[in-house]
Amino acid sequence: MKALRVMSFAIPIILAALLMIVVRPVYPFVPEATGTGPNAYTVDAWPAGAQPINWLINPTRSSAITGSTSVTTVIQAAFATWTTAPDTNLSVISSPGTSTITDAKNVPNGTNLVCFVCTGVDFSASDGTLALTTTFSNGSGVISQADIYFNPSPKSLCFVTDAQSGGCPTQGDSAQDLQTVATHEIGHFFGLDHSGVVRAIMFPFAPSLLTTLSYDDLAGISTSYPSPAPVVPIGKITGTVNMAPNGSPVFAAHVFGNSTTASNPFAAFNNIRKTPIGTLTLPNGSFTISGVPADSYMVMAEPLDGPVDNTAVEWGLPAKTPTFNQQIQTNFTTRWH
């Protein structure tokens, strides 16, 4: 295996604007996490014993859904996008049971429901929310329940179950591919938080049609659910981000590795797209970028100040992180290394 080019470095932070290098922001995959120590966390994930994960669907369509493909087929396809990802050991039941639950308050503990008509989570037609996923876990990050709710009546928009189906019944409404939204929500179902990689399915803003995973999504899911026999060998990039001149550690910096070559180790997989991969630094400034295929990488650190910022990433809510109970740092600028 070609050796990874591992870079371990300290970043001098110079506040002079003349030294700033403006680059397009890209950020890494970030798992939902639960702190286990001063500089340690565990990734929120389903336990191996829970697989294949059982899920139910209330197949009743809201008036916002259009298209000839069944909603069950769409959700199955969205699950399969994740469970068939290379280097990943993850499974859900292929044929879900059906449910008649229409209120989130009535979902029994331990039930994993997908619902298009449910009340009980304060959806509004006009506040822009299209879907949400809620997960339950214990203090060790072990997920025991996840439920996905789609807004039954989003304003000026419809969900289409067929990408080629043509548009919304109401003229002027925007068509949103249902599988695109479902694929993102299922990423949360499996324990992933938002990514800042614009091309990632877990990026907070998605195009109207995008159903494949990026390298960043793949790194997230394969790190949380690693295959014992990966088809594409992966490694890690480790290092530390420190503040100059005193060398104090930088917490919650976004650090990512961006390939410097045309190599595409996952080229054999049609549903995987090449993007940067990364992570966040821990309170001691250390980072480990996992799920990295063999290649040459440019490693870069950016402050957590947009487009994904401390409010979008669970770790950084809002000034102190619930995981580490420490103020994040954004008082530095982006530089190439």
Partner 1 sequence: MRVSTPLKVSLFLTLVMGMVATATTVVPMSIEGLTAASTHVVEGVPLQTWSQWNPQHTLILTYTKFQVQRALKGQAPAMVMVKQLGGIVGTTVQKVAGVRRLEPGERAVLFLRPGDVNDGTLVITGLMQGNFSVRTAQNGTQIVTNGMPDVSAYSVSTGEVTSYQGNHLRLDELESRVHKAVQQ
What residues line the site for partner 1 (CB under 8 A)?
A: 24-25, 32, 34, 44, 104-109, 119-124, 126-139, 154, 157, 174, 176, 180-181, 184-185, 188, 193-194, 198-199, 203-210, 305-307, 309-312, 314, 317-320, 322
CB of 92 to partner 1, least distance (A): 19
DSSP three-state, residue 180: helix
Pick the closer one to partner 1 by CB: 296 or 311: 311
DSSP three-state, residue 184: helix
CB of 199 to partner 1, least distance (A): 5
Q: Which of 186, 212, 223 is nearest to 30 (CA)?
A: 223
Residue 105, phi then psi, degrees to nearest 5: -65, -20
CB of 9 to partner 1, least distance (A): 26
Pick the closer one to partner 1 by CB: 87 or 177: 177
Residues 277/289, Cβ–Cβ less than 8 Å = yes
Pick the closer one to partner 1 by CB: 85 or 181: 181
CB of 132 to partner 1, least distance (A): 4
**Alpha carbons 184 and 78: distance in angstroms, whole number:** 9
What DSSP letter does each residue of 260-324 carry, written as one string? -SS--TTTT-TTEE---EEEE--TTSEEEEEEEESS-EEEEEE-SBSSSBTTTSGGG-SSB-TTT
Pick the closer one to partner 1 by CB: 58 or 238: 58
**Alpha carbons 83 and 336: distance in angstroms, whole number:** 35
52 Cβ contact list (under 8 Å, min separation 6): 91, 92, 93, 94
CB of 90 to partner 1, least distance (A): 19
CB-hemisphere CA count at 13 Å for 161? 19
237 Cβ contact list (under 8 Å, min separation 6): 4, 6, 7, 257, 288, 289, 292, 297, 299
86 Cβ contact list (under 8 Å, min separation 6): 218, 222, 227, 230, 231, 232, 266, 269, 272
Pick the closer one to partner 1 by CB: 12 or 204: 204
CB of 239 to partner 1, least distance (A): 26
Pick the closer one to partner 1 by CB: 192 or 234: 192
Pick the closer one to partner 1 by CB: 4 or 308: 308
CB-hemisphere CA count at 13 Å for 115? 24
Residue 173: count other Cβ atoms within 10 Å of its Cβ. Answer: 16
Pick the closer one to partner 1 by CB: 32 or 87: 32
Pick the closer one to partner 1 by CB: 14 or 125: 125
CB of 95 to partner 1, least distance (A): 25
Residues 153/64, Cβ–Cβ less than 8 Å = yes
CB of 129 to partner 1, least distance (A): 5
CB of 2 to partner 1, least distance (A): 27
**Alpha carbons 252 and 26: distance in angstroms, whole number:** 15
